[in-house]
Amino acid sequence: MSMSLYQIMYISTVVGTVTSQQCAAMAQMSAINNRRNDVTGLLLFNSRRFLQVLEGPKDAVDRIFTRIHADPRHRAVVKLREGPIDAREFGEWAMAYDDPARPSADLKDKVAALLVQAGPSTRAHFIGSADLHRPAA
Ligand SMILES: Cc1cc2nc3c(=O)[nH]c(=O)nc-3n(C[C@H](O)[C@H](O)[C@H](O)COP(=O)(O)O)c2cc1C
Protein backbone atom coordinates (compact mmCIF):
# COMPACT_ATOMS: atom_id res chain seq x y z
CA MET A 1 0.00 0.00 0.00
CA SER A 2 1.11 3.55 -0.50
CA MET A 3 0.15 6.60 1.48
CA SER A 4 -0.74 9.73 -0.49
CA LEU A 5 2.21 11.98 -1.11
CA TYR A 6 2.49 15.75 -0.99
CA GLN A 7 5.23 18.05 -2.27
CA ILE A 8 6.32 21.64 -1.66
CA MET A 9 8.98 23.53 -3.61
CA TYR A 10 10.15 26.94 -2.37
CA ILE A 11 12.93 29.47 -2.78
CA SER A 12 14.38 31.81 -0.16
CA THR A 13 17.28 34.19 0.35
CA VAL A 14 20.01 33.64 2.90
CA VAL A 15 20.33 36.12 5.78
CA GLY A 16 23.95 37.10 6.28
CA THR A 17 26.30 34.26 5.47
CA VAL A 18 26.12 30.54 6.02
CA THR A 19 29.45 28.68 6.03
CA SER A 20 30.00 25.22 4.58
CA GLN A 21 30.44 23.97 8.17
CA GLN A 22 27.01 25.35 9.02
CA CYS A 23 25.62 23.74 5.86
CA ALA A 24 27.09 20.41 6.88
CA ALA A 25 25.51 20.66 10.33
CA MET A 26 22.15 21.67 8.85
CA ALA A 27 22.32 18.82 6.36
CA GLN A 28 23.10 16.24 9.02
CA MET A 29 20.35 17.38 11.37
CA SER A 30 17.78 17.67 8.57
CA ALA A 31 18.63 14.27 7.11
CA ILE A 32 17.94 12.59 10.46
CA ASN A 33 14.76 14.54 11.14
CA ASN A 34 13.37 14.10 7.62
CA ARG A 35 14.11 10.38 7.49
CA ARG A 36 12.29 9.94 10.77
CA ASN A 37 9.29 11.67 9.16
CA ASP A 38 9.50 9.78 5.83
CA VAL A 39 10.28 13.09 4.09
CA THR A 40 12.60 13.12 1.07
CA GLY A 41 13.78 15.92 -1.22
CA LEU A 42 16.66 18.21 -2.06
CA LEU A 43 17.97 21.43 -0.53
CA LEU A 44 20.28 23.47 -2.76
CA PHE A 45 22.27 26.40 -1.39
CA ASN A 46 24.01 28.43 -4.08
CA SER A 47 25.65 30.85 -1.60
CA ARG A 48 22.81 33.34 -1.95
CA ARG A 49 19.54 31.46 -2.37
CA PHE A 50 18.02 28.27 -1.06
CA LEU A 51 15.85 26.09 -3.31
CA GLN A 52 14.18 23.14 -1.63
CA VAL A 53 11.75 20.34 -2.42
CA LEU A 54 10.10 18.53 0.48
CA GLU A 55 7.96 15.48 -0.28
CA GLY A 56 6.23 12.85 1.83
CA PRO A 57 3.08 12.51 3.94
CA LYS A 58 1.25 15.87 3.87
CA ASP A 59 1.14 16.39 7.63
CA ALA A 60 4.90 15.83 7.94
CA VAL A 61 5.72 18.05 4.93
CA ASP A 62 3.50 20.87 6.26
CA ARG A 63 4.94 20.60 9.77
CA ILE A 64 8.56 20.69 8.57
CA PHE A 65 7.88 23.52 6.11
CA THR A 66 6.24 25.63 8.85
CA ARG A 67 9.37 25.20 10.99
CA ILE A 68 11.70 26.01 8.07
CA HIS A 69 9.61 29.07 7.13
CA ALA A 70 10.17 30.54 10.60
CA ASP A 71 13.94 29.93 10.52
CA PRO A 72 15.77 33.31 10.84
CA ARG A 73 18.67 32.11 8.69
CA HIS A 74 16.68 32.94 5.56
CA ARG A 75 14.01 35.40 4.40
CA ALA A 76 11.65 35.98 1.48
CA VAL A 77 10.46 32.38 1.53
CA VAL A 78 8.25 31.91 -1.54
CA LYS A 79 6.44 28.69 -2.46
CA LEU A 80 6.93 27.93 -6.15
CA ARG A 81 4.81 24.80 -6.24
CA GLU A 82 2.64 22.80 -3.86
CA GLY A 83 0.31 19.85 -4.18
CA PRO A 84 -0.22 16.10 -4.22
CA ILE A 85 2.19 13.98 -6.25
CA ASP A 86 1.92 10.43 -7.64
CA ALA A 87 5.50 9.45 -6.93
CA ARG A 88 8.54 10.86 -5.17
CA GLU A 89 11.11 12.70 -7.28
CA PHE A 90 13.86 12.01 -4.74
CA GLY A 91 14.76 8.69 -3.13
CA GLU A 92 16.27 10.31 -0.06
CA TRP A 93 16.76 13.71 1.50
CA ALA A 94 19.94 15.52 0.48
CA MET A 95 21.58 18.93 0.55
CA ALA A 96 23.93 20.33 -2.10
CA TYR A 97 26.17 23.32 -1.44
CA ASP A 98 29.55 24.65 -2.39
CA ASP A 99 32.30 23.13 -0.28
CA PRO A 100 35.60 25.07 -0.33
CA ALA A 101 37.32 21.93 0.97
CA ARG A 102 36.40 20.23 -2.32
CA PRO A 103 36.68 23.02 -4.91
CA SER A 104 36.93 20.59 -7.83
CA ALA A 105 33.42 19.29 -7.29
CA ASP A 106 31.13 21.54 -9.33
CA LEU A 107 27.81 22.35 -7.69
CA LYS A 108 25.96 21.74 -10.94
CA ASP A 109 27.40 18.22 -11.20
CA LYS A 110 26.50 17.44 -7.59
CA VAL A 111 22.94 18.63 -8.19
CA ALA A 112 22.59 16.74 -11.49
CA ALA A 113 23.53 13.52 -9.73
CA LEU A 114 20.70 14.05 -7.24
CA LEU A 115 18.11 14.71 -9.97
CA VAL A 116 18.12 11.33 -11.68
CA GLN A 117 14.49 10.55 -10.76
CA ALA A 118 13.21 14.13 -10.97
CA GLY A 119 10.82 15.46 -13.62
CA PRO A 120 11.71 18.17 -16.16
CA SER A 121 10.27 21.11 -14.19
CA THR A 122 12.12 20.17 -11.00
CA ARG A 123 15.33 19.54 -12.94
CA ALA A 124 15.08 22.93 -14.64
CA HIS A 125 14.61 24.78 -11.35
CA PHE A 126 17.56 23.10 -9.64
CA ILE A 127 19.95 23.23 -12.58
CA GLY A 128 19.06 26.89 -13.13
CA SER A 129 19.69 27.70 -9.49
CA ALA A 130 22.99 25.82 -9.43
CA ASP A 131 23.98 27.69 -12.59
CA LEU A 132 23.44 31.06 -10.91
CA HIS A 133 26.12 30.07 -8.45
CA ARG A 134 29.18 32.24 -8.89
CA PRO A 135 31.79 31.42 -6.26
CA ALA A 136 33.48 34.44 -4.70
CA ALA A 137 36.87 35.03 -6.28
C1 LIG B 1 16.91 26.78 4.10
C2 LIG B 1 16.65 25.86 5.25
C3 LIG B 1 16.23 24.55 5.01
C4 LIG B 1 15.98 23.67 6.05
N5 LIG B 1 15.55 22.40 5.80
C6 LIG B 1 15.26 21.56 6.81
C7 LIG B 1 14.76 20.26 6.57
O8 LIG B 1 14.60 19.81 5.43
N9 LIG B 1 14.47 19.49 7.65
C10 LIG B 1 14.63 19.92 8.93
O11 LIG B 1 14.35 19.17 9.86
N12 LIG B 1 15.12 21.14 9.18
C13 LIG B 1 15.43 21.98 8.17
N14 LIG B 1 15.92 23.24 8.44
C15 LIG B 1 16.14 23.62 9.85
C16 LIG B 1 14.85 24.06 10.50
O17 LIG B 1 14.53 25.38 10.08
C18 LIG B 1 15.00 24.02 12.04
O19 LIG B 1 16.11 24.79 12.42
C20 LIG B 1 15.22 22.61 12.52
O21 LIG B 1 14.19 21.78 12.06
C22 LIG B 1 15.30 22.52 14.05
O23 LIG B 1 14.14 23.03 14.59
P24 LIG B 1 14.06 23.35 16.14
O25 LIG B 1 15.17 24.33 16.40
O26 LIG B 1 12.68 23.91 16.34
O27 LIG B 1 14.27 22.03 16.81
C28 LIG B 1 16.17 24.12 7.39
C29 LIG B 1 16.62 25.43 7.61
C30 LIG B 1 16.85 26.30 6.56
C31 LIG B 1 17.33 27.69 6.84
Residue 74 forms part of a structural domain: yes
**Start-to-end Cα distance in the chain:** 51
Any domain includes 17: yes
Q: Domain range holding 106?
A: 5-131
Q: In the chain, which residue ranges form alpha helices assigned H by DSSP?
A: 20-36, 58-69, 107-114, 120-131
Tell me, yes or no, whether 82 lies in a domain: yes
* Amino acid at the residue 102: R
Residue 86 included in any domain: yes
Domain count, the chain: 1
Assigned domain for 137 exists: no
Choose one of 29, 53, 66 to mutate for the ligand 1 pocket test, by most ligand atoms within 8 angstroms of C-beta.
29
**For 61-111, what is each residue's pLDDT tens digit?**
999 999 999 999 999 999 999 999 999 999 999 999 987 777 666 899 999
Q: Report the CATH number at residue 102.
A: 3.30.70.100
**In-domain check, residue 63:** yes
User: Which residue has the least CA distance to atom 4 on ligand 1?
Assistant: 68
Query: Which residue has a Cα nearest atom 1 of ligand 1?
Result: 50
Give the pLDDT band (50/70/90) at residue 1: very low
Radius of gyration of the chain (CA): 14
Q: pLDDT tens digits for 108-132?
A: 999 999 999 999 999 999 999 998 8
Question: Is there a domain that residue 47 lies in?
Answer: yes
Proportion of the chain above pLDDT 70, given as a percent: 93
